Amino acid sequence: MAVTPVVYGSRGTKAVLPCSFTHPKQEEYSGVITVKWFKNRDLFFHCTVQNNTQGGVTDCVSGTNLHYSLDVDPRQGQLSLRINQLELTDNGTYICRVELEQRKDSFEKKTQIYVKANVQILSLSQVETISSPDGTTEHHLKCCAEGNPLPNITWLSDSKGPVHHNVQPEQHGPYRLSSSVPYLVGEVYTCRAENQLGSVERQFPSSSILRVSLVVCGSFLLLLLLFGLVIFYLRKRGFKPSNSSSQKRPESNTEHTVNSHHELNSSGIQRDDATELQLVYSTINLPSSPPCLQTGFPFSTKGGDESCVIYSPLNFPQ
């Protein structure tokens, strides 16, 4: 049996763990071939194939959509394991094993796969407030990153530069690390995670949150501006009703005057069209009954004196 001692791969790609075997009676053997793959001594894949047939799809070669499958046909002496979409959990030591004649003949060998992973920031958020012994509360930011090799996390503050005080790192397994720092509300912090394959950064608050804040503030200012314009317009319009009413009064007076003029004209009193005619009403007492205008309305008072209404046109200078 032959295997490759170490196989390297990258997260998200495909990897093949080579494994092959030979047997003195392989061409004459028509029994069952059993293939088994172990990871850390735990069986996770096995299949069987009858060696008296050639070609065709078998239980051992069942397609490439599965996470684990054989890369070739065991009837050709090939037991290579294909792993699709590599994950960090695929790292480890594997054992390739083949069994013939119901375990009468068996072979196995170890191989190893090392999955590399570019660093990723999984989360960056404000954690729950922590009460200090003196009763005050502190806000913390927590950044969680993952990668292989294990990444390193550093902090940057926009106003203070690199942050080294009160940094609290914590490792979660072989590929994941988190780090926490005290957070001053209103300050912008940057979490930088890096390993041998590269580095990534993320800000808190994020640029999207900043954009939303700017949009909200801009919308609020716009609403205030529109509200101010509406108030200004309403106040400006508020003077127009009085002006309009004052402008309408002359029209009403004019209409009354025109009607009065019409009545005088019907009474035979002439007026000058070039001047504005206004009426003055006055009641006078006469010792005797003077002739009144036909358009007047004579009446008697309680004292017995007769009174009449005299209409007299008066011209006022403009």
For the record, the structure tokens of 101 come out as: 């004649």
Residue bearing the bigger pLDDT, 226 or 212: 226
pLDDT tens column, 18-46 = 999 988 877 788 888 899 999 988 999 98
Residue bearing the bigger pLDDT, 15 or 72: 15
Phi/psi class of residue 103: alpha, beta or left (left: φ > 0; alpha: ψ in -120 to 50)?
A: left
- Across 93-109, average pLDDT: 87
Could you tell me how far CA 183 lies from the centroid of its own chain? Answer: 23
For the record, the structure tokens of 204 come out as: 């808190």
For the record, the structure tokens of 166 come out as: 């009160």
pLDDT tens column, 117-126 = 999 999 999 9
295: DSSP letter: T
Could you tell me how far CA 194 lies from the centroid of its own chain? Answer: 28
- Neighbour-count burial of 133, counting CB atoms closer than 10 A to its CB (0-12 exposed, 13-18 middle, 19+ buried): exposed
Rounded distance between C-alpha atoms, residue 162 and residue 140, angstroms: 16
Rounded distance between C-alpha atoms, residue 305 and residue 288, angstroms: 8
11: DSSP letter: T
- Across 7-17, average pLDDT: 96
The pTM for the full model equals 0.60
Rounded distance between C-alpha atoms, residue 304 and residue 286, angstroms: 12
According to DSSP, the β-strands at 152-157 and 161-163 are antiparallel
**pLDDT reported for residue 105:** 81
**Ordered structural domains, the chain, with CATH:** 2-117 (2.60.40.10), 127-205 (2.60.40.10), 258-315 (no CATH)
Give residue 37's identity as a one-letter amino acid code.
W
